[in-house]
């Protein structure tokens, strides 16, 4: 997913000639800077969600269009078919719709940092999961981790959230 895209972009970054690398970095920097500018206005409630999405479609999408055009030019003219750079560019172009889908949703950003921070506890837990002893143990762990991450997403204290759930659970009606 996102980490693979970043790895391939990283490979492309180092395989391109220096001046081409600078062009690519400049295109990405413009996208992230414009996104940060709009996000700040939205977070400070200086623009509405509708205005934020409208401006994002006008201003950020045009920067993505420039990046897309640049990638197509490099793919079609200047890079060997078997190079890692060509593979990275193809990977990005083949997933272009996924890359730009975030533009339609105010709660999403072009960065995968938040998503990666969210899954980090799960990846750190991977080795420990070998010692759960059963599928039920692993299932229980997944349930608890999901509850913790759900609390975090809703800006709740995971400890308080779990305490509330466990205190109320015995009184819930089930079918």
Instruction: Please state the pTM of the whole predicted model.
Output: 0.61
State pLDDT tens for residues 35-87: 999 999 999 999 999 999 999 999 999 999 999 999 998 887 766 656 777 88
For residues 15 and 82, the answer to whether their CB atoms sit within 8 Å is no
State pLDDT tens for residues 126-149: 666 666 677 777 778 788 888 988
Q: What pLDDT does 19 receive?
A: 59
- Would you list the DSSP string of 26-59? HHHHHHHHHHHHHHHHHHTTSS-HHHHHHHIIII
For residues 63 and 30, the answer to whether their CB atoms sit within 8 Å is yes
Q: How confident is the model at residue 116 (pLDDT cuts 50, 70, 90)?
A: confident
Tokens 């719709």 locate to 97
| Alpha carbon 167 to chain centroid, angstroms | 35
What is the C-alpha to C-alpha distance for residues 2 and 91, in angstroms, rounded to an integer?
11
């Amino acid at each position: 997913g996102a980490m693979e895209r970043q790895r391939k972009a990283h490979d492309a970054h180092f395989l391109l000639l220096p001046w081409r690398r600078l062009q690519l970095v400049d295109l990405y920097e413009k996208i992230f800077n414009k996104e940060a500018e709009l996000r700040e206005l939205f977070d400070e409630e200086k623009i509405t969600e509708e205005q934020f999405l409208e401006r994002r479609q006008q201003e950020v999408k045009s920067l993505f269009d420039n990046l897309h055009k640049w990638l197509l030019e490099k793919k079609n003219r200047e890079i060997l078919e078997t190079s890692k750079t060509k593979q990275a560019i193809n990977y990005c172009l083949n997933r272009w719709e996924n890359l730009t889908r975030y533009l339609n949703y105010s709660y999403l950003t072009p960065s995968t940092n938040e998503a990666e921070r969210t899954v980090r506890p799960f990846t750190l837990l991977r080795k420990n999961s070998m010692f759960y002893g059963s599928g039920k143990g692993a299932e229980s762990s997944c349930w608890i981790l999901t509850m913790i991450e759900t609390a975090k997403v809703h800006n709740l204290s995971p400890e308080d959230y779990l305490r509330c759930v466990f205190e109320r659970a015995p009184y819930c009606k089930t079918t």
